[in-house]
């Protein structure tokens, strides 16, 4: 996939590409932080037929929504590439002793050697959570390590 970058003097930058189905889309990055998502007209590919203006916050939210499944997918790709390394997604159940407690209290890495690399909550990925990140029932914890160590983390999350 080729992304074309164009300078817009006085405004900012434009990145555009064509999807596999033949639609052209672009993101205009204004210097002010505003982001426009632009969809081009099928019949007049030079014209933006739809422009959605996003402020900083909205742009961040959209990026996160688009990026969330990708992070998990990338992790899966990663463990396929590295022999002996797996990433597993462990749900925090209602009965987990760590639901409602900071993640650091599980001392997962110290006890097992595996790392919690992300927490997925309501479709949003919180990458590299800090030890004081509060876990809640319904979260999915992404753990990377050896098959044994990740199994040990699963055990800790269920039984403490």
Partner 1 sequence: MHTATIFIELGGIVLALGVLGALALRAGISPIPLYLLAGLAFGKGGILPLATSEDFVAVGAELGVVLLLLTLGLEYNADELVASLRGNARGGLVDLVLNAAPGAVVALLLGWGPVAAVAMAGVTYATSSGITAKVLSDLGWIGNRETPVVLSLLVFEDLTMAMYLPILTAILAGVSLAGGAVTVAIALGAVSVVLVAALRFGRFIEAFVASPNSEVLLLKVVGLALAVAGVAQQLQVSAAVGAFLVGIALSGELAHEARALLMPLRDLFAAVFFVFFGLQTDPGSILPMAGIAAVLAVVSMVTKLATGAYAARRAGVARAGQARAGIALIPRGEFNIVIAGLAVAAGAHPDLGPLAAGYVLILAAFGPLAARLVQPLITLVARRA
- Interface contacts to partner 1, rule CB under 8 A: 6-11, 14, 16, 26, 28, 31-32, 36, 38, 40-41, 43-48, 50-51
Distance CA 141, CA 145 (A): 13
Q: How far is the CB of 57 from partner 1 (least distance, A)?
A: 18
Q: How far is the CB of 27 from partner 1 (least distance, A)?
A: 9
Select 58 or 78, whichever has its Cβ closest to partner 1. 58
Count the neighbouring beta carbons within 10 Å of the beta carbon of residue 16. Answer: 17
Q: How far is the CB of 30 from partner 1 (least distance, A)?
A: 8
Select 62 or 158, whichever has its Cβ closest to partner 1. 62
Distance CA 130, CA 116 (A): 10
Residue pointed to by tokens 């990740």: 150
Select 33 or 67, whichever has its Cβ closest to partner 1. 33
Q: How far is the CB of 23 from partner 1 (least distance, A)?
A: 13
- Between CA 4 and CA 32, with CA 44 as vertex, the angle to 5 degrees is 50
CA 98 to chain centre: 23
Select 46 or 83, whichever has its Cβ closest to partner 1. 46
CA 65 to chain centre: 7
Select 53 or 74, whichever has its Cβ closest to partner 1. 53
Q: How far is the CB of 52 from partner 1 (least distance, A)?
A: 10
Distance CA 58, CA 68 (A): 15
């Amino acid at each position: 996939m080729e992304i074309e970058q164009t300078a817009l003097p006085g405004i900012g930058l434009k990145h555009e590409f064509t999807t596999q189905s033949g639609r052209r889309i672009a993101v205009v990055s204004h210097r002010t932080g505003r982001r426009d998502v632009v969809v081009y007209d099928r019949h007049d590919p030079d014209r933006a037929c739809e422009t959605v203006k996003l402020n900083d916050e909205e742009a961040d939210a959209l990026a996160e929504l688009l990026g969330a499944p990708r992070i998990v997918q990338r992790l899966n790709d990663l463990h396929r590439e590295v022999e002996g390394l797996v990433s597993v997604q462990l749900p925090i159940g209602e009965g987990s002793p760590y639901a409602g407690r900071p993640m650091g209290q599980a001392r997962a890495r110290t006890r097992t050697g595996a790392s919690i690399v992300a927490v997925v909550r309501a479709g949003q990925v919180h990458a590299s959570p800090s030890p004081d990140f509060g876990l809640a029932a319904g979260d999915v914890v992404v753990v990377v390590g050896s098959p044994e160590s990740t199994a040990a983390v699963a055990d800790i999350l269920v039984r403490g």
